[in-house]
Amino acid sequence: MIPIPFDYETLRLIWWALLGVLLIGIAVMDGFDMGVAFLNPILGRTDSERRVIINTVGPVWEGNQVWLITGGGAIFAAWPAVYAASFSGFYLAMFLVLVSLILRPVSFEYRNKYIGKKRAAWDYTLFMSGLVPPLVFGVAFGNLFLGVPFTLDAFQMPHYADSLIMGFLHLLKPFALLTGLTSVVMLASHGAVYLAAKSDGTVQRRAVTAARIGWLVWLVLFIAGGFWVSQLDGYTITSAMDMNGISNPRTKTVIVEHGIWLRNYHAYPILYMVPLLAILSSFATAFLLRAKRFATAFIPSGLSVACTIATAGIALFPFLMTSSLEPSHSLTVWDASSSRLTLWLMTIAATIFVPIVLIYSSWAFHILRGALSEELVRTNDKHLY
Amino acid sequence: MEHFDPVILARLQFAATALYHFLFVPLTLGLSWLLVILEATYVMTGRPVWKDAVKFWGKLFGINFAMGVATGITMEFQFGTNWAYYSHYVGDIFGTPLAIEGLMAFFLESTMVGLFFFGWNKMTRVQHLATTGFLALGTNLSAVWILIANGWMQNPVGAEFNVDTMRMEMHSFYELIFNPVAQAKFVHTVSAGYVCGSMFVLAISSYFLLKQQHVEIMKRSFAVAASFGLAGALSVAVLGDESGYTVNSHQQMKMAAIEAMWDTEPAPAALTIFAIPSTGTMSNRYEIKIPYLLGLIGTRSFNETIPGINQLIAQSEGRIANGIKAYGAMVAINKNPKDNAAREVLKTTGKDLGYGLLLKANGIDPMKATTADITATSKTLIPDVFVLFWAFHIMVACGLWFILLFALAFWKASKRRFATSWLYKAALYSLPLPWVAIELGWIIAEYGRQPWAIEGILPTRLGASANSAPMVMTSLFGFVAFYTVLLIVDVTLMIRYAKKGPETAPEGAHA
């Protein structure tokens, strides 16, 4: 067999970065569909306005959703311990996400096949599908900073302290609610920018307003979150760590210490560029919206989303999932990955397929370019949502 | 609620959501290629009747596709929620095909499906046809990767147990993707999808032909479905035989169970076509057998024997004894990673570790297992013979009926005799049968593998998450209730839009 050209440490770092790319891909691409679905009943007053809103994402949401599906598969393959501990740990929350994710395609596809009240009901199922996943993912991310109550036994089986309802309620700590809210506001604002670029008239006007208010609220939440994190108890590895070592999360020592979540930023102040870029991008978005450069505004909007996630990821590094019950069992980049061979094979697969995906998705967006109007929806009644 | 067994509930949930998901997938697999054929004919002939056909079947495709995607998401995340130990134990191998499936197939089909529906006026005819083609390719590629993953559960090649990480790890990607079980399963499954798609088109075309409506579109659809369906039905049978052959090499217990063959027979073994098997008494009543046939299918020879259930159980006792040694070594290494003697033991007995875990799955401490425990545990290797025997025989009967029906339809269509009402009625009433056969096929594949999640490696019971019964019960009821509502909506819409028929210019305008 051909030798693997990277050492284990490098492959783990690559897959930590790719995990970030996937999460950002989910938030930037699938995030704007969710934002639009969330905004639909708020910004659309009449059925034809709502049809415009829904049809702006109609042709692309399905492709975008694959970021989420692929993200799940990639975590399974590259970070199986994280996959095992997180989804079973966030059990009820995951169930709600799954239900809302199933509601989404169904609502899109079936909405226009009904009229009147029944049709309006699908707007609310669609709304839930744009609210619940960003909320739950945001809350879950917040809990990674606070610690999740799990331990691993000698067989590496994850166990949890909580049962069904309490496990869910314990996720809803104040800081996690803040990150959940930040996530919802961020994706709604990002969706509003997309909507501004893809619609005209009244809908567009409302979308611009929503985007500007949304990004302002996000700014407040993001900065508040940053200060809050600096005051939380953070996790740090105290034992010597072999970055090329075996993936066994039970062999290290981790302690919890007040106010150390920003240690990576203190160690490398250049990293402060990432949150700064998130903030500057939001100003750029607001500026471009004022200048009526709606399509261009989507770029800094996406950049703000990406940098928000990167900001949190950098603070957590090298932790992937922290354990509040047994901090030493926390899952990290150095001890929760799959084998070197699997990481290498997955790297090859990503190198081949990600560029291909980007090429044909860009082609699809190009074919489907242009804004939607109520007029267009009326004349194409038969083959639009 | 505490006295419910969370593992049973998790299994029920998996079975319910998987069978439900697979109501939609095969139709997507088959109908996507039928759309390609219809649209290619449109591009070549330029006649609008073909385009009307694409749009009509495309609308039904869309209703179904939405459900297929939606229910697939549950399948992926369910491994994490309900089967955490499984995810940890085999994620290193099993996760890879799932991730590649996303990258290679899901992105393609999902991007193309948007263009298919929304791109009619934005692309040239050839571009749109290419979109439809890539859509079909994407759906079929996703089947490749998920069946590589499932094939590995049936025949876990290319992987080894690593005691330091306490999980299976990949050592050969080549063996994983060229797993003979996965190959046979892929062709068998997509062919079944082609039959399903063809039956769907054939039955609905027949409905309109019986009513003498939309005749121009429907007789063309009928002819295309008849030919594609015949090819698919033959392929299902041939590759079903190939599956039989590979099952015999790798999963002899499943083979013995679907044939209800309790004891090894002198070669070549007879094929049992009717019986009432009972796992309790370990025997059959009311048997009807065809001499020699099973031996020929299973071994492709006259002189090799196929082992019966009792013989397989006797063999497995040795593997359980070996598995106890492997388990002991594993525990020792866990306590002291430098225990080289234990590592040597694990090296020689490691391939039977799963049989040691099987004792644990049955609530027996492998280190304290008695001979009686081993014998009792070996009996748990027998799957539910009654269910498997009948699932298999009904599936095969459906398969034979499809060949006959599509052959008749093909013959009639090629003679351009579109006035045979009995054939239309037969096609219409056969509409549910592909789903029956396909769901039974999955029951054989998955239920027949029990008590294993990964054949010979990981017992199902040990793969589950440490969830309480109320948790799993909540999500089980949640999914069943939610899915039932969705199914009612889906079927209602499907019937409404199918009955509505194509939207075309008045009849005859396309002549």
Q: Are strands B167-170 and B271-278 parallel, antiparallel or unpaired?
A: unpaired
Give the helix, strand, coil percentages of chain B, each rounded to 5.
75, 5, 20
Classify residue A94: in a domain, yes or no: yes
Classify residue A2: in a domain, yes or no: no
Average pLDDT over residues B51-68: 91
pLDDT band at B506 (very low <50, low <70, confident <90, very high): very low
For chain A, give the percent of residues with pLDDT over 90.
Answer: 76
**A317 shares contact with chain B (CB less than 8 Å):** no
pLDDT at A106: 85
Tokens of A372: 């939607």
**Tokens 């060949």 correspond to what residue?**
B403
Number of Cβ within 10 Å of residue A378's Cβ equals 11
DSSP-derived secondary structure letter, A332 = E
Which chain B residue is nearest to residue A129, measuring alpha carbons? Answer: B70
H or E stretch including B277?
strand B271-278
Residue B453 pLDDT exceeds 50: yes
Task: Compare CB distances from B102 to A73, A85, A368 and report the shortest one's residue.
Answer: A73
With beta carbons under 8 A apart, name residues in chain A contacting B108: 357, 360
Tokens of B11: 């299994």
Task: Compare CB distances from B92 to A101, A338, A361 and report the shortest one's residue.
Answer: A338
**Contact present, B377 and B362 (Cβ < 8 Å):** yes
The number of CA neighbours under 13 Å toward the Cβ of A179 is 24
The number of CA neighbours under 13 Å toward the Cβ of B188 is 28
Q: Each residue of A31-79: pLDDT tens digit?
A: 999 999 999 999 999 988 999 999 999 888 888 999 999 999 999 999 9
Nearest one of A158, A204, A212 to A331, comparing CA atoms: A158
Q: How far does B55 lie from chain A, in Å, by closest CA? A: 9
B residues 319..358 contacting A (CB < 8 A): 334
Tokens of A9: 């440490």
Q: Are strands A233-237 and A158-160 parallel, antiparallel or unpaired?
A: unpaired
Least confident of A157-166, A178-187, A355-364, B385-394: A157-166
Residue A5 pLDDT exceeds 70: yes
pLDDT at B416: 77
Q: Do A360 and B88 touch (CB under 8 A)?
A: no
Report the C-alpha gap between B57 and B220 in whole angstroms.
12
pLDDT at B308: 87
Report the C-alpha gap between A46 and A228 in whole angstroms.
41
With beta carbons under 8 A apart, name residues in chain B contacting A102: 70-71, 73-74, 482, 486
**B282 shares contact with chain A (CB less than 8 Å):** no
Q: Is the peptide bond before B268 cis (omega within 30 degrees of 0)?
A: yes
**Contact present, A271 and A314 (Cβ < 8 Å):** yes
Q: How far does B463 lie from chain A, in Å, by closest CA? A: 9
Classify residue A54: in a domain, yes or no: yes
Which chain A residue is nearest to residue B160, measuring alpha carbons? Answer: A339
Q: Residue B367: phi, psi to the nearest 5?
A: -70, -20
Q: Each residue of A274-328: pLDDT tens digit?
A: 999 999 999 999 999 999 999 999 999 999 999 999 999 999 999 999 999 999 9
Q: Is A272 exposed, middle or buried (0-12, 13-18, 19+ CB in 10 A)?
A: middle
Q: Do B80 and A349 touch (CB under 8 A)?
A: no
Residue B507 pLDDT exceeds 60: no
Q: Do B98 and A76 touch (CB under 8 A)?
A: yes
pLDDT at A170: 84
pLDDT, averaged across chain B: 89
Which chain B residue is nearest to residue A76, measuring alpha carbons? Answer: B95
Residues in chain A, overall count: 385
Classify residue A328: in a domain, yes or no: yes
Which chain B residue is nearest to residue A1, measuring alpha carbons? Answer: B172
**Tokens 């226009």 correspond to what residue?**
A112
**Contact present, B19 and B439 (Cβ < 8 Å):** yes
Classify residue A288: in a domain, yes or no: yes
Round the CA-based radius of gyration of chain B to a whole number and report it.
Answer: 25
pLDDT at B508: 39
Nearest one of B309, B307, B310, B311 to B298, comparing CA atoms: B307
Count of structural domains within chain A: 1
Report the C-alpha gap between B26 and B7 in whole angstroms.
28
pLDDT at B511: 33
For chain B, give the percent of residues with pLDDT over 70.
Answer: 95
Q: Write down the ipTM of this complex.
A: 0.91
Tokens of A378: 């009326």
pLDDT at B286: 81
**B171 shares contact with chain A (CB less than 8 Å):** yes
**Tokens 């709606």 correspond to what residue?**
A294
**Contact present, A254 and A236 (Cβ < 8 Å):** yes
Residue B358 pLDDT exceeds 50: yes
**B92 shares contact with chain A (CB less than 8 Å):** yes
Q: Residue A321: phi, psi to the nearest 5?
A: -150, 120
pLDDT at A160: 87
Q: Quote the pTM value.
A: 0.92
Name the residue type at position A269. Answer: P
For chain A, give the percent of residues with pLDDT over 70.
Answer: 98
Cα end-to-end span (Å), chain A: 51
pLDDT band at B245 (very low <50, low <70, confident <90, very high): low
Which chain A residue is nearest to residue B165, measuring alpha carbons? Answer: A248
pLDDT at B510: 38
What ranges make up the beta strands (E) of B100-229? Answer: 159-162, 167-170
Q: How far does B77 lie from chain A, in Å, by closest CA? A: 7
**Contact present, A143 and A173 (Cβ < 8 Å):** yes
DSSP labels, A220-286: HHHHHHHHHHHHSEEEEE-S---TTS-S-TTSS-EEEEET-TTHHHHH-GGGGHHHHHHHHHHHHHH
With beta carbons under 8 A apart, name residues in chain B contacting A77: 91-92, 95-96, 98-99
**B478 shares contact with chain A (CB less than 8 Å):** yes
pLDDT at B184: 87
Q: Are strands A254-258 and A233-237 parallel, antiparallel or unpaired?
A: antiparallel
B residues 121..140 contacting A (CB < 8 A): 121-123, 134
A254: left (phi over 0), alpha (psi -120 to 50) or beta: beta
Q: Do A158 and B465 touch (CB under 8 A)?
A: yes
With beta carbons under 8 A apart, name residues in chain B contacting A104: 70
Q: Do A65 and B69 touch (CB under 8 A)?
A: yes
Q: How far does B238 lie from chain A, in Å, by closest CA? A: 32
Tokens of A290: 């004022």
Classify residue A8: in a domain, yes or no: no
For an interface test with A, the pick among B458, B471, B496, B500 (most A C-beta atoms closer than 10 Å) comes out as B471
Residue A1 pLDDT exceeds 70: no
With beta carbons under 8 A apart, name residues in chain A contacting B166: 154-156, 248
Number of Cβ within 10 Å of residue B488's Cβ equals 10
pLDDT at A382: 67
Q: How far does B376 lie from chain A, in Å, by closest CA? A: 25
pLDDT at A22: 93
Q: Are strands B283-290 and B271-278 parallel, antiparallel or unpaired?
A: antiparallel
Report the C-alpha gap between A322 and A312 in whole angstroms.
14
Residue A93 pLDDT exceeds 80: yes
B residues 41..60 contacting A (CB < 8 A): 55
Count residue pairs from A and B with Cβ separation < 8 A. 255
Report the C-alpha gap between B435 and B458 in whole angstroms.
30
pLDDT at B397: 93
Average pLDDT over residues B413-442: 89
Least confident of A179-193, A229-243, A369-383, B447-461: A369-383
Residues in chain B, overall count: 511
Tokens of A105: 């395609």
Report the C-alpha gap between A87 and A81 in whole angstroms.
10
With beta carbons under 8 A apart, name residues in chain A contacting B92: 77, 80, 338-339, 342
Classify residue A138: in a domain, yes or no: yes
Q: Is A376 exposed, middle or buried (0-12, 13-18, 19+ CB in 10 A)?
A: middle
Classify residue A14: in a domain, yes or no: no
Q: How far does A303 lie from chain B, in Å, by closest CA? A: 22
pLDDT at B419: 67
A residues 230..269 contacting B (CB < 8 A): 246-248
pLDDT at B278: 83
Q: How far does A15 lie from chain B, in Å, by closest CA? A: 13
Task: Compare CB distances from A339 to B170, B478, B489 and report the shortest one's residue.
Answer: B170
Q: How far does A154 lie from chain B, in Å, by closest CA? A: 7
pLDDT, averaged across chain A: 92
Tokens of A314: 């950098």
DSSP labels, B466-491: S--HHHHHHHHHHHHHHHHHHHHHHH
Average pLDDT over residues A92-108: 90
**A169 shares contact with chain B (CB less than 8 Å):** no
Least confident of A270-284, A290-304, B126-140, B493-507: B493-507
Least confident of B64-78, B254-268, B476-490: B254-268
Which residue segment(s) compose the domain that A123 sits in? Answer: 19-383
Q: Each residue of B341-352: pLDDT tens digit?
A: 999 999 999 999
Within 8 A by CB and 6+ apart from A19, the residues are: A74, A75, A78, A79, A320
- Which SS3 state, helix, strand or coil, does residue B13 take? helix
Average pLDDT over residues A144-172: 86
pLDDT at A112: 83
